[in-house]
A and B are shown apart, each in its own frame.
Chain A
């Protein structure tokens, strides 16, 4: 009985994606076209897995947010302090006449 169950698990594991592999493929698919087999396996997995669907959506949100990052204004802690500016100006001046 136990042996049959183990075999069952192995067969399922070999044909179906698990969540670890599915999230790997979701990550990869953002940059590269998946092979046909992987693409189908991922689609099938996503039909039945709420968590991986959430992961996919979040992945897209994160990538989108990261693309927008360069539009954030350089203010506050994302800008140079006066001290930093002085230091950099000094080093430019030192190197200017070399």
Chain B
């Protein structure tokens, strides 16, 4: 085992080499410009303080990214402790009359997007998805991002955000319904 020295890392180059990549990674996941900038900055500062944790066998970028990923979880964790994080109101797109079976409300039901699996969607579609993702209420967004983009398992998510397993599925479900509706409006327009 070799020790890591401060000379093994090159912090003066970090912003130019990895800044944009790390920023985009954070921006997609937290939505806000300011928060993403803060997270990137915190990542670099944290990296300077723990340069011993840099093992020469992984690249500098991989190491920085692992710190950034942790910062994103920390951000949502801190948010989940605040009051404004409480569940927001979303009217489910299903008929809910007494005695009725919960079918889609016709006007809000999923339409055919007329897109196949292949690349014709391109970046324009991706951008709509990201925009709509940023519109999600924070609580749902946190679950959605950690589960789908960060690929964390439900148990870990619950540990970080203080929710229950079944809660996670309910939130994912609502987030998906809302996201889908938003994308459809913008995509078919």
**Residues in chain A within 8 A of chain B (CB atoms):** 5-6, 9, 12-13, 16, 18-21, 23-24, 27-28, 31, 51-52, 54-55, 57-59, 61-66, 68-70, 72, 74-75, 77-80, 84-85, 87-89, 91-93, 95-96, 98
Contact = CB atoms under 8 A, between A and B. Distances in A.
B129 A66 contact: yes
Contacts of A89: 15
Contact of B111 (A52, A54, A63): A54
Interface in B112-136: 112-113, 115, 117, 121, 123, 125-126, 129-130, 133
A78 B148 contact: no
B169 A65 contact: no
A58 B180 contact: yes
B188 to A, nearest CB: 11
B45 A13 contact: no
A80 B94 CA distance: 42
B138 to A, nearest CB: 18
* Chain A binding surface, main DSSP class: helix
What is the size category of the interface that chain B forms with chain A? 35 or more
A88 to B, nearest CB: 5
Interface in B18-48: 19-21, 23-25, 27-28, 33, 37, 40-41, 44-45, 48
Give the interface centre of B102, B113, B179 by most chain A CB atoms within 10 Å.
B102
Given A62-B129, A62-B180, A98-B48, 14 more contacts: A18-B94, A20-B92, A21-B102, A28-B173, A54-B110, A58-B183, A61-B121, A62-B179, A65-B121, A74-B21, A74-B24, A75-B20, A80-B20, A92-B48
